[in-house]
Chain A
Amino acid sequence: MKRLIAIVLLGCAVFGLYSCAPKQAKKPTIVVWHWMTDRQAAFEQLAGEYEQKTGIKINFELYAPSDAYSQKTRAAAQCNTLPDIFGILAEKRVFASFVKAGHVLDLYPYMQQDGRSWQDSFFAKALAVNEFSQDNSYGVQPGIYGVPLDITTIQMIYNKDLFDEMGLDSDKPPQNFEEFLAVGRQIKQAGLQGMVAGLAEIWMIDCLANNFAFNIMGRNKVLATIRGEVAYTDPDWIKVLSLFKQMQDEGLLADGIVIMVNKVAEQLFANGRAVFAFNGSWCVNVYHSMNPALNYGVMLPPKINSEYPLSIWGGAGSSFMVNARSENREQVVEFLKWLTAEEQQAYLAQATNNLPSNKECLDDISPALAQFADDMDLTTHPNTWGVSELPLVTEAWNKGIQSIIIGEKTPQEVAVLVQVVKERELAKKRQ
């Protein structure tokens, strides 16, 4: 019996000692959700390097297409099952809802550490897209809620070979709208297709129209319209709408552009089937994968007048947000600091042909990409405006432009229709 008691006591002692021994903390696994099919291989390469360096495993989970990804993040937000790192593919008001629902960590304190070294490594415009300022109209606590991975500018691209074919100087693309229309007439004569763009996608048509609007009436008037202080029936807005009619009449818009999604537009341009494209800097990678021999140049959208500066959409291309409910917040932030550091950003820029968000890496980019980077100073982004247009107004505006292109409505009719929707939505908001 005594022997039995001794064995039990010994067992307890061994078990107790084992339990009290200092355990090595288990390294977490960080899960990242993203939609960037072209970057998965590069992300996995970086994840491997990070695991080797720190022992922390990074799982990059790809969900594509972007529509499906967007739906997945919303569903996950409703169920509180968002991963450690995710991206929000939507307008600022949706981003604001994610923040207000407590899903996104404010990175401002981390950005301020070490004398703001992390914050200062980014292009200010790239960071601004993820920022909510003191006086933001969304009711969000001021802060920085995302880390820009890359930057982008959306511009016009032209096919140099087709320019040569039409007898135009391929080093001198049109600078203003008159010259642009003149090229349109030559395109028509040559039986070629003019500009391709994903005008079936609301954001793309909005982007092109905004380029024109900023140049015609200036930023303040555009923002005043969004706030409801200027009507869409204002002559300047009708002028913006009329440009689409002019472009259509002069043969500048490719046939079927109103039902064209950007992927199709990219294919057509890459295969030399259109003279112009309206696309973002990500297209460098896309065109290269579709047709490495494509000979193209980048140009700013044609200037309408010289009273107001030309603005193009740009800033952060894709950003990552940190789940505020993640148990691994600190490790996640450390990983993002590493991912956006110079070396990793240079690798991403080189491997994926995207403009890096870290401003120290711009020297390493390809000449094609450099053409997009040159005009970074002209960029603006709806996420930095502080106000968002009401969604049904945006829809009415974009569908209205489509109906002008297909000749169903006049610019004046569309302006009136959009204003009706605007007033109705504003009245609803006031209730």
Chain B
Amino acid sequence: MMRFKENLENYMFVLPAVAILAVFYIIPFFWVFKLGMYEWDGILPTKIFVGLSNFREIFTQDRIWWNSMLNAGYITLIALTLQNALAFSLAWACDRQIRLKNFYRLIFFIPPVLSEVVVGLVWQWILDGNYGLLNHTLIRMGFPQLVRHWLSDPNTALTTVALVHSWKGFGWGFLIFLAGLQTIPQQLYEAAKVDGANAWQSFKNITFPLMIPVTVLVGILTILGTMQGFILIIAMTDGGPVYHTQVPVLRILASMRGSSRFGYACAQGITFGFILIIVSFIQYRFSKRAQH
């Protein structure tokens, strides 16, 4: 009886969290999944049950959807490599005894706290083909051959958006990497130095292995954050030119608002969610193996 009471007490403690999770995540997930099996415009009270045909259409006919997935993958790849390499390098630099390191910490964290819409509009102005600051600077510096319509040229639009996204997002990685670096005991470096290890050996044998869990965390957060990003893109290109900067969330919005296909948009949302879960799981397994 005593044990039952103790168990009940424990369950009561987790009950609020479970209730919140159920109300805001689990029930909506199943609800969205159910809606994904209907043809519905989001307004009429009647819905037509179509089974899995929305999902079948996503997998067999919707090439634009899979293109948008590739675009998001490309932006994520740049974020995983360039953005995180930059974040790690800067965190590593700021972790050392350099002058003005607190000032740098503050500066590097400014882009992430800015509104994505504001960042998008400012960069749109900088990158404007005719009146943009970047092209103006390139001409002034004697490189007129590099002048481009960065956002409306299909050859440069996606990479430009990806680079702005990385600029906007590297501050989060920087902060987490810096926190991770500060947890590595200084004694390890001192002992390595006594044993005759140089800077590279210390980095390879101490910093790198101890930072793997942090890197995994940053990696997962980067994948999830970047794949789901869309506000910056709306502000800069609205997914254009044509479909060159379309990402899955913009496609979901287009299905829901543009085409009034609420059920199809729900099916896209569920498919996208599953893909993100699979990618995160693979990355987790991969990095766990690397850790061992």
Binding site for B on A (CB under 8 A): 67, 70-71, 74, 77-78, 90, 93-94, 97-98, 100-101, 103, 193, 200, 202, 254-259, 261, 273, 391-392, 395, 399, 402-403, 406, 408, 424
Given contacts A255-B129, A402-B242, 8 further A-B contacts (CB under 8 A): A94-B43, A94-B260, A200-B238, A256-B151, A258-B152, A391-B260, A391-B261, A395-B259
Nearest-neighbour CB distance to chain B for A138, whole angstroms, equals 11
**B185 on the interface (CB 8 Å rule)?**
no
List 11 A-B pairs, Cβ < 8 Å: A77-B43, A93-B41, A97-B41, A200-B238, A259-B151, A259-B157, A391-B260, A395-B258, A399-B243, A406-B241, A408-B242
Q: Which of A70, A74, A101 contacts B45 (CB 8 A)?
A: A101
CB-CB under 8 A from B240, the residues of chain A are 200, 258-259, 402
CB-CB under 8 A from B41, the residues of chain A are 93-94, 97
* A399/B43 contact (C-beta < 8 A), A67-B257, A255-B129, A408-B154 known: no
CB-CB under 8 A from B44, the residues of chain A are 97, 100-101
CB-CB under 8 A from A257, the residues of chain B are 152
Interface residues of B in 36-50 (CB under 8 A from A): 41-45
Q: Which DSSP category, helix, strand, loop or mixed, fits chain A's interface?
A: helix
How many angstroms between the C-alpha atoms of A200 and B243 in the bound complex? 11
How many angstroms between the C-alpha atoms of A202 and B130 in the bound complex? 24
Query: By the criterion CB–CB under 8 Å, are B260 and A97 in contact?
Result: yes
**B61 on the interface (CB 8 Å rule)?**
yes
CB-CB under 8 A from B241, the residues of chain A are 258-259, 402-403, 406
Nearest-neighbour CB distance to chain B for A7, whole angstroms, equals 53
Kindly name the residue among B128, B130, B151, B152 whose own CB sees the greatest number of chain A CB atoms within 10 A.
Answer: B152
Query: By the criterion CB–CB under 8 Å, are A259 and B152 in contact?
Result: yes
**B105 on the interface (CB 8 Å rule)?**
no
How many angstroms between the C-alpha atoms of A203 and B235 in the bound complex? 18
Kindly name the residue among B153, B240, B258 whose own CB sees the greatest number of chain A CB atoms within 10 A.
Answer: B240
Kindly name the residue among B42, B61, B128 whose own CB sees the greatest number of chain A CB atoms within 10 A.
Answer: B42
CB-CB under 8 A from B152, the residues of chain A are 255-259, 406
Query: By the criterion CB–CB under 8 Å, are B259 and A391 in contact?
Result: yes
How many angstroms between the C-alpha atoms of A295 and B110 in the bound complex? 42
CB-CB under 8 A from A258, the residues of chain B are 152, 240-242
How many angstroms between the C-alpha atoms of A391 and B256 in the bound complex? 11
CB-CB under 8 A from B43, the residues of chain A are 74, 77-78, 94, 97-98, 101, 103
In the complex formed, the residue of B with least CB distance to A257 is B152
CB-CB under 8 A from B130, the residues of chain A are 193, 254-256, 273
CB-CB under 8 A from A255, the residues of chain B are 129-130, 149, 152
**B254 on the interface (CB 8 Å rule)?**
yes
Interface residues of B in 225-250 (CB under 8 A from A): 237-238, 240-243
Binding site for A on B (CB under 8 A): 41-45, 61, 128-131, 149, 151-154, 157, 237-238, 240-243, 254, 257-261
CB-CB under 8 A from A67, the residues of chain B are 257
Query: By the criterion CB–CB under 8 Å, are A259 and B258 in contact?
Result: no
8 pairs of A and B residues whose beta carbons are closest in the complex: A391-B259, A97-B43, A256-B152, A258-B241, A259-B240, A255-B129, A403-B242, A402-B242
Nearest-neighbour CB distance to chain B for A302, whole angstroms, equals 24
Query: By the criterion CB–CB under 8 Å, are A399 and B242 in contact?
Result: yes
CB-CB under 8 A from A256, the residues of chain B are 128-130, 149, 151-152
How many angstroms between the C-alpha atoms of A45 and B11 in the bound complex? 58
Query: By the criterion CB–CB under 8 Å, are A392 and B259 in contact?
Result: yes
CB-CB under 8 A from A392, the residues of chain B are 259
Query: By the criterion CB–CB under 8 Å, are A424 and B61 in contact?
Result: yes
How many angstroms between the C-alpha atoms of A361 and B151 in the bound complex? 45
Query: By the criterion CB–CB under 8 Å, are B259 and A78 in contact?
Result: no
How many angstroms between the C-alpha atoms of A403 and B129 in the bound complex? 18
CB-CB under 8 A from B238, the residues of chain A are 200, 259, 261
CB-CB under 8 A from A406, the residues of chain B are 152-154, 241-242
How many angstroms between the C-alpha atoms of A395 and B257 in the bound complex? 12
Query: By the criterion CB–CB under 8 Å, are B257 and A70 in contact?
Result: yes
Nearest-neighbour CB distance to chain A for B241, whole angstroms, equals 4
Query: By the criterion CB–CB under 8 Å, are B258 and A391 in contact?
Result: yes
CB-CB under 8 A from B259, the residues of chain A are 391-392, 395
How many angstroms between the C-alpha atoms of A200 and B124 in the bound complex? 14
Nearest-neighbour CB distance to chain A for B35, whole angstroms, equals 11
Nearest-neighbour CB distance to chain B for A226, whole angstroms, equals 16
Nearest-neighbour CB distance to chain A for B40, whole angstroms, equals 10
Nearest-neighbour CB distance to chain A for B136, whole angstroms, equals 14
CB-CB under 8 A from A70, the residues of chain B are 257
Nearest-neighbour CB distance to chain A for B155, whole angstroms, equals 10
CB-CB under 8 A from A259, the residues of chain B are 151-152, 157, 237-238, 240-241
Nearest-neighbour CB distance to chain B for A215, whole angstroms, equals 26
Query: By the criterion CB–CB under 8 Å, are A78 and B260 in contact?
Result: no
CB-CB under 8 A from B157, the residues of chain A are 259
Query: By the criterion CB–CB under 8 Å, are B242 and A395 in contact?
Result: no
Kindly name the residue among A70, A200, A259, A399 whose own CB sees the greatest number of chain B CB atoms within 10 A.
Answer: A259
Query: By the criterion CB–CB under 8 Å, are B42 and A78 in contact?
Result: yes
Query: By the criterion CB–CB under 8 Å, are B254 and A395 in contact?
Result: yes
How many angstroms between the C-alpha atoms of A424 and B154 in the bound complex? 27
Nearest-neighbour CB distance to chain A for B233, whole angstroms, equals 11
Nearest-neighbour CB distance to chain A for B235, whole angstroms, equals 10
CB-CB under 8 A from B254, the residues of chain A are 395
In the complex formed, the residue of B with least CB distance to A264 is B124
Nearest-neighbour CB distance to chain B for A407, whole angstroms, equals 9
